[in-house]
Structure 1
C-alpha cells in the first residue's frame, strides 16, 4: 500500500500542476504585520466538496486554515491544514530537515521520504511520513520569498489503508500548487489603548 501511495503522490504532483488553472477561490487566510513580515493573505483553490475554514475550527486547533469534507470530526485524518509562520531558519531545506528530525525523534520507527513540488510561483518541497501508527502524513513546505517574511506549509494525514487516498492526494496537490501568497493591504494594525 505504501509504495502505491508514493507512486500516487508523484503522479498527483504532476497532474495537479497540469490542472492548476492559476485561478483561486479568493483569500483563505490573512495575517497581520509581524516584525519584518508584512501583512499577508493566502489564496487557495478549494476542491469541490471541501469546506474552507479559517476562523472557527482552524483557530480552535491553532492553525491558519483548514479544508475538510463533510462534517468537522476533530480528527486529523483527511483534513488539509495550512500553517503560516515568520521565517526563522535560513532556507526552505533547513525547515524541511528540522521537521523531519522532529518527526523521527517522535516516531523512530517511522519512515520519511521526500520530493520536490513544481509550484508555478514559489519553491516547495514535500515530505511523506509513514508512521508506525499506520497513519501517513504528507507535508509540503513552501517559501513565498524573502520579502514575504514568512514560510507556509500544507499538510494532510490519512490512514495508510484508506481506499480513497489517491483522490485525497489529488485534491491536496491541487490545493498546494494553486496556493498564492500576497501582501494584504486590508489588514490594519490593532487599535492602540487610550
Structure 2
C-alpha cells in the first residue's frame, strides 16, 4: 500500500508535472475551454463581479452544476458512470470570494483543516502548470487509505474569486493513474471568465 502512495507522489511531482505541462500547452493552443464550455457561473456579489468557469470535459465524465452539485452545496461536479453520492471518483468545483491574501494562504488553511481531521495524514504540495493563472495542488494521504487531491487556482485580483478542484480516490485503486490524469487535465483546462448572461429570447410573434 505504501508503495502505491510513494509512486503517486513521484508521478505527481516528477513525470506527471512535465506531462501535464505539455498537455496544458496543447490545450491552450488547441482545444482549450471555449466560451460555450461554461460549466458553472455565479452572480455579482457586492464588489465581486459575476463569474464563470469554462472547462473541457474528459471523455467518459458527466458535467453537472445544477442537480447533484447543488444538492451537496458545491458549484459543479464531474463524475463517471451513475451518480452514487460517494465522494470517490468525483471532481468537485468550488468558487468563492477571495478573502485570504495569497494562494499559498489558501493551501495552508486547507492543509490545517485537513490535518485537524486526520493528524497522521501525509501531505505534499506542488505547482500546477496552468497557462492562464497560478495554481497549486496538494495530495493528502489519508490514514483511512482514501487519498485526496486538491488544486487551488487564483484568476487574479480583478476577478474577486478563487477556485478549487478536488477529488477523492481509494489508495492503490486500479484506475488511480487514469483518474489523476483526467483530474489534472480538467485543472489546466479550466478558465475564469467574466460572466455575461445571455440575452433573453424574444417571444415568438403571434400568428395572424
Q: Which residue of 2 aligns with 1:191?
A: none
Tell me how far 1:118 sits from its aligned partner: 1.0
The question of 1:87 aligning with 2:136 is answered no
Contact 2:91/2:166 (<8 A) preserved: yes
Pairwise CA RMSD: 1.3
Q: Which residue of 1 aligns with 2:157?
A: 146
Matched residue of 1:73: which SS?
Answer: coil
Tell me how far 1:160 sits from its aligned partner: 0.5
TM-score, normalised with respect to structure 1: 0.93
Q: Which residue of 2 aligns with 1:17?
A: 21
Matched residue of 1:71: which SS?
Answer: coil
- Which of 37, 62, 77 is residue 51 of structure 1 equivalent to? 62
TM-score, normalised with respect to structure 2: 0.87
Q: Mapping of 1:55-74 within 5 angstroms?
A: 55-74=66-85
In 2, Cα distance between equivalents of 1:86 and 1:180: 16
Contact 1:24/1:43 (<8 A) preserved: yes
Larger radius of gyration: 2
Tell me how far 1:163 sits from its aligned partner: 1.4
Q: Which residue of 1 aligns with 2:172?
A: 161
Q: Which residue of 2 aligns with 1:2?
A: 5
Q: Which residue of 1 aligns with 2:188?
A: 177
Tell me how far 1:114 sits from its aligned partner: 0.5
Tell me how far 1:187 sits from its aligned partner: 7.4
Q: Structure 2: where are the runs of 5+ without partners? A: 200-208
Q: How many residues matched?
A: 188
Could you list the structure 1 runs, at least 4 aligned residues long, displaced by more than 6 angstroms after superposition: none
